[in-house]
Amino acid sequence: MRHLYLDGAWRPSTSGESIDVINPATEELIDRVPAGTPADVEVAVAAAREAFPSWSATAPAERGRILAAAAGLIRERSDQIARIIATDMGAPYGVAMRVQTLMPAGVLASYAQLAETYDFEGGRVGNSRVLREPVGVVAAITPWNYPLHQVVCKVGAALAAGCTVVLKPSEVAPLAAFALAGIFDEVGLPAGVFNMLSGHGPVVGEALVTHPEVDMVSFTGSTGAGRRVASLAAETIKRVALELGGKSASLVLPDADLPAAAKATVANAFLNSGQTCSAWTRMIVHRDQYDEVVRLVVEAARKYTVGDPFDEATRLGPLVSAAQRDRVIRYINRGQEEGARLVAGGTDRPLERGFYVEPTVFAGVEPGMVIEQEEIFGPVLTIIPYTRGEDEAVAIANGTPYGLAGAVWAGGEQRAVEVARRLRTGQVAINGGQFNPRAPFGGYKQSGLGRELGEFGLEEYLEIKAIQL
């Protein structure tokens, strides 16, 4: 069994118990990681606390140099890391490489650069100097769907800011986090600055969230677990950043480029087998263009070949686990019971082995249906008609408890931006605008609190001090 990374060394967990790591394409056991304990958490937090004074006083440019070296090693080992992610999480190798490995390498490099360029010292208000100081010991708790990217979004920002970190990656697909811990060790991050322990959320996660020596919790995961984290953290008045679920809309105005909207919405909804928090899973289309869009979407969805993550023809890998596959199948059944029309995919098993689900599209979806309201987290796209004007389309887009991302498709950019302003959501792509890994990312409403990425992401990990002169 593997060891935990605590206080600058690989150490066995005090529990001796392990968690199986399963390859979702083959259903085979591929590894075992320790089920960490509250006693392991004590060691990790004590190490992070001990390392804080010296790391927070290290020149930001030096912090940046170490992070840049780590980003360089991720790039250098991108093939190995992408293979790890394709194997324990199931993303097709190309996605595992481009989105799951090279993107986080870029994000880490951007934090390395920000550590050098950000003005930690410079603010002035009248007779006060305003300093920005690291918040302290950060507990980072991450999900399995982007197992390196979600980690780097938090750890890169926290370390650049001068915080020390205890990471608890997801117990599902944890191996990329182990690879990253090895890289941090190799580039000479001082002992205790970064610690990593695997384990179950209610055990290790809650021990971190309630620990009086942890100053901030940065959590990415489901809204239910996020709610629990926020309420537990309130006891010790910790700062809490939450990146939670989503049910984002792709809103198509009548004069939009329909083929472009259909193709990009399907690609976005099915990326990573639909296991993406910001996925556009609700396509909102005027009744007059509805049949045409459904036809285009079904045509695009049929091109999503399901298969082995290492097969070049594969565009849709398995879901991460049997539990996730079963959950998605339950939602597909539910959609049919609610009266939505299945126009692609369904509940058939596309392959004998592996946790696969067909690329699935529902038409005739009404606002308020369960499949229109709840995050399914699988390759399931819903298409919702509107009959009146833009106001109705915007109301449907805003009509869930979530507000993470979205898209607007329209003939003119200015009109699309006006609609984007009306969406209660943290990001909006106009006519296929590309994802920007330095732009602030995060949710309105129950999609979360705070922002990740770029300067806004860095600032989540900073306290503000005013010194009167």
Residues 6 or more apart whose Cβ sits within 8 Å of residue 79 = 97
The answer to whether 100 contacts ligand NAD (rule: CB under 6 A) is: no
Of 148, 215, 116, nearest in space to 461 by CA: 215
| Cβ nearer to ligand NAD, comparing 153 with 397 | 153
* Of 153, 171, 277, 372, catalytic: 277
Q: Do the Cβ atoms of 313 and 305 come closer than 8 Å?
A: yes
| Cβ nearer to ligand NAD, comparing 244 with 416 | 244
Residue 98 DSSP label: I
Of 246, 252, 248, nearest in space to 284 by CA: 252
- Minimum CB separation of residue 155 from ligand NAD in Å reads 14
| Cβ nearer to ligand NAD, comparing 118 with 144 | 144
Which residues from 377-436 bind ligand NAD, rule CB under 6 A? 377, 404
| Cβ nearer to ligand NAD, comparing 88 with 375 | 375
Interface pick for ligand NAD out of 37, 110, 150, 289 (rule CB under 6 A): 150
Site string for ligand NAD, 268-307 (x = CB under 6 A): ---------x------------------------------
Span near ligand NAD by CB under 6 A; candidates 69-77, 130-138, 139-147, 285-293? 139-147
* Of 163, 171, 206, 243, catalytic: 243
Interface pick for ligand NAD out of 12, 188, 190, 202 (rule CB under 6 A): 202
The answer to whether 35 contacts ligand NAD (rule: CB under 6 A) is: no
How far apart, in Å, do the first and last CA atoms of the chain sit? 57
d(CA 318, CA 86): 10
Q: Do the Cβ atoms of 356 and 350 come closer than 8 Å?
A: yes
- Minimum CB separation of residue 221 from ligand NAD in Å reads 3
Residue 434 DSSP label: P
d(CA 250, CA 260): 12
Of 373, 386, 380, 385, nearest in space to 301 by CA: 380
Q: Do the Cβ atoms of 207 and 130 come closer than 8 Å?
A: no
Which residues from 361-380 bind ligand NAD, rule CB under 6 A? 375, 377
Q: Do the Cβ atoms of 220 and 143 come closer than 8 Å?
A: yes
The answer to whether 166 contacts ligand NAD (rule: CB under 6 A) is: no
User: Has 277 been annotated as catalytic?
Assistant: yes
- For 314, phi then psi, to 5°, come to -75, 130
Q: Which helix (H) or strand (E) holds 372?
A: helix 370-373
Which residues from 440-469 bind ligand NAD, rule CB under 6 A? 443, 447-448
Binding interface with ligand NAD (CB under 6 A)? 141-145, 150, 168, 170-171, 201-202, 205-206, 209, 220-222, 225, 228-229, 243-246, 277, 375, 377, 404, 443, 447-448
Q: Which residues carry out catalysis? A: 243, 277
